[in-house]
Amino acid sequence: MLQRLFPGRIDNGYGGQAAALWLLGLLAVVKALMGGNSIVNARSVAAGADGLVLDRYGGGGAEAVILLFSLTGLAGLVLALQAALVLVRYRAAVPLMYLMLLVEWGARRAIILAHPIERSTDGAGYINLGLLAVMILGFTLSMVGKRYADPAADRP
């Protein structure tokens, strides 16, 4: 299992299910769109999808929140580009990419729980749960496959 997560060579040799590649492509597109939207429309994303009442923060506070949303969008966009690169050139790292996406999701949730703030709605909650389900399914599919080499077969 660790050999699948951390292969000796990161090349285009992929042994998991093909559906995991399609799901990673879907995740990359969705995360790129979400990241780009957070960069360009940070105010509406913060107020709409995340339910932050920006008027309560005052001028400087609201601008700081908008800046942080833009920076978070950039991080999401970079993660999406990294997933696309893995799909195109380094498919042996697909399970690791899924693991990184899951770790990022879990760490983000932990930070949100550690620093709760008042929200008018949790509109992004269902979308994020859907993305989590796709990530878990994709990770599972990327870890199983008949095309993975049997380590016992390599021994003399």
DSSP code, position 145: -
Mean pLDDT of 53-71: 87
Are 65 and 46 spatial neighbours (Cβ–Cβ below 8 Å)? yes
Rounded to whole angstroms, the Cα distance separating 56 from 120 reads 12
Mean pLDDT of 42-48: 87
Structure-model confidence comparison of residues 144 and 146, the more confident one: 144
Mean pLDDT of 3-17: 89
Q: Does the pLDDT value for residue 59 go beyond 90?
A: no
Q: 55: how many CB neighbours lie within 10 A of its CB? A: 10
What is the per-residue pLDDT across 19-38, written as a single tens digit (0 to 9) for each? 999 999 999 999 999 999 99
DSSP code, position 150: P
The pLDDT of residue 155 is 44
What is the per-residue pLDDT across 67-105, written as a single tens digit (0 to 9) for each? 999 999 999 999 999 999 999 999 999 999 999 999 999
Q: What is the pTM of this model?
A: 0.86
